[in-house]
Amino acid sequence: MSMSPRACPVCACLLIFLAALSGCADERAATPRVATNNWPGYWPLYLAVRNATEPIAHLTELRSATAVMRAFRNGAVDIAALTLDEALVLAAEGLEVCVFLVVDVSHGGDALVAQPSIESVAALAGRRIGVEASAVGAYLLSRIYDQTALAAGAAMIVEIPVSDHARAFANGEVDAVITFDPTRAELVAGGARELFSSRDIPGEILDVLVARPAYLADRRDAVVRLVRAWRHAARDILEQRAVAFDALSGFVQGERARLDAALEGIVFPSTEAQRDLLNGELDAVAARLGKVMRRHQLLAGAGSGRFDVETGVFEAASR
């Protein structure tokens, strides 16, 4: 199924997913280049590659979602693992973006965590919040402004790459950080206080695999094979957690309890849920996200804007 560009700038590809269910794939198809960042929802991709008897993807883990977006823009990768809001940003920039798999739904895996002495979001007024401003962190911050007593501009925003969140928090460089698992689970296990999470905005933060429509048309069979392998690996992580973690031991680092905790904030959509999402529900989700993002000037489509990391305010560009 293809969405009308007028309805949503992200094209959802149901046919790719349905073909993966059928088990049909041309073994001669080229191996896709896929970029991810460090997020537990992407672990099935790495397990799929680990378990494959032949190459199904060249996976590259980058330091941040911002770096993944950059690699996709530049054509350095064929497929990018992103949140849906990040895919909308790319589409608003004029890139042709097609969502062909909903990898997971964040249900607590993305969060605002604070130093133990800070007991509420409102108490962050005048304090420092670390955030990767150009990715999903900016979106979560906008929703914190919408749903809590913290006003835009009340806190000092410090732009920090996700890979540096744990270090900056431990060193006291920030009073709170907007981050995600596995860093979220590690900070909470160390005594950090969770004040807001994707559980407070259910269904808004989804992770997806995207590619350009032309690539999907040319390499459909390779993408089908990757989707099919992802589906089996996600099932293995849910049903055979210990075996899956053993297979991922060279990639996933950390204590078993923390790895389990990191996965508690993630939902892997069932086959039926995937069909529903790619067969129309994703249109509605994207429309809601787009409305919120335009209100906070996170999408270029409603007039360009910028995120001011010093004030934490999303400002429309002057005309």
pLDDT digits (tens, 9 = 90+) for 45-76: 999 999 999 999 999 999 999 999 999 999 99
Residue 2 has pLDDT above 60, yes or no: no
> How high does pLDDT run on average in the chain?
87
Closest CA to 182 of 80, 103, 83, 261: 261
Residue 141 sits in the same domain as residue 60: no
Closest CA to 15 of 233, 213, 235, 289: 213
Residue 177 inside a domain? The answer is yes
The DSSP line for 223-284 is HHHHHHHHHHHHHHHHH-HHHHHHHTTTT--S-HHHHHHHHHTEEPPPHHHHHHIIIIIHHH
Task: Using the 3D structure, point to which of 157, 178, 201 is the last residue of a domain.
Answer: 201
Residue 280 has pLDDT above 90, yes or no: no
- The confidence score (pLDDT) of residue 298 equals 87
Task: Using the 3D structure, point to which of 183, 201, 219 is the last residue of a domain.
Answer: 201
Structure tokens at 149: 């007593």
Residue 185 sits in the same domain as residue 240: no
Residue 200 has pLDDT above 90, yes or no: yes
Residue 101 sits in the same domain as residue 208: yes
Residue 315 inside a domain? The answer is no
Q: Is 136 exposed, middle or buried (0-12, 13-18, 19+ CB in 10 A)?
A: buried
In contact, 110 and 41? CB cutoff 8 Å: no
In contact, 64 and 137? CB cutoff 8 Å: no
- The confidence score (pLDDT) of residue 11 equals 82
Residue 98 sits in the same domain as residue 213: yes
- Are β-strands 128-131 and 193-197 bridged in parallel, bridged antiparallel, or unpaired? unpaired
Residue 303 has pLDDT above 70, yes or no: no
- Cα(first)–Cα(last) distance of the chain, in Å? 38
Q: What is the pTM of this model?
A: 0.85
Residue 8 has pLDDT above 90, yes or no: no
Residue 114 has pLDDT above 90, yes or no: yes
CATH of the domain at 162: 3.40.190.10
Task: Using the 3D structure, point to which of 176, 201, 226 is the last residue of a domain.
Answer: 201
- The confidence score (pLDDT) of residue 80 equals 98
Angle value at C-alpha 298, between 139 and 163, nearest 5 degrees = 50
The total domain count for the chain is 2
Residue 144 sits in the same domain as residue 213: no
Residue 229 sits in the same domain as residue 258: yes
SS3 172: coil
Closest CA to 205 of 36, 85, 45: 85
Residue 229 sits in the same domain as residue 301: yes
Structure tokens at 317: 């560009």
Mention every residue, 6+ apart, whose C-beta is less than 8 A from residue 307: 133, 134, 138, 297, 298, 313, 314, 315
Residue 211 sits in the same domain as residue 183: no
Provide the domain limits for residue 174. Answer: 110-201
- The confidence score (pLDDT) of residue 57 equals 97
For residues 302-319, average pLDDT: 39
| Cα 153 to the center of its chain, rounded Å | 25
Residue 23 inside a domain? The answer is yes
- Are β-strands 79-83 and 206-211 bridged in parallel, bridged antiparallel, or unpaired? antiparallel
Residue 250 sits in the same domain as residue 291: yes
Q: How far, in Å, CA of 180 to CA of 170, rounded?
A: 16
Residue 314 inside a domain? The answer is no
Residue 208 sits in the same domain as residue 220: yes
Residue 115 sits in the same domain as residue 259: no
Residue 233 inside a domain? The answer is yes
- The confidence score (pLDDT) of residue 255 equals 76
Residue 313 inside a domain? The answer is no
- Looking at 4-13, 14-23, 188-197, which range is the least confident one? 4-13
Query: At 250, is the pLDDT very low, low, confident or very high (cuts 50, 70, 90)?
Result: confident
Residue 318 inside a domain? The answer is no
Residue 131 sits in the same domain as residue 171: yes
Looking up tokens 């060249």, which residue turns up? 58
pLDDT, tens digit, 9 for 90 and up, residues 216-239: 999 999 999 999 999 999 999 999
For residues 172-198, average pLDDT: 96
- The confidence score (pLDDT) of residue 113 equals 98
Sheet holding 128-131, edge to edge: 156-159, 128-131, 176-180, 110-114, 193-197
Residue 2 inside a domain? The answer is no
Mention every residue, 6+ apart, whose C-beta is less than 8 A from residue 175: 114, 115, 118, 124, 127, 128, 129
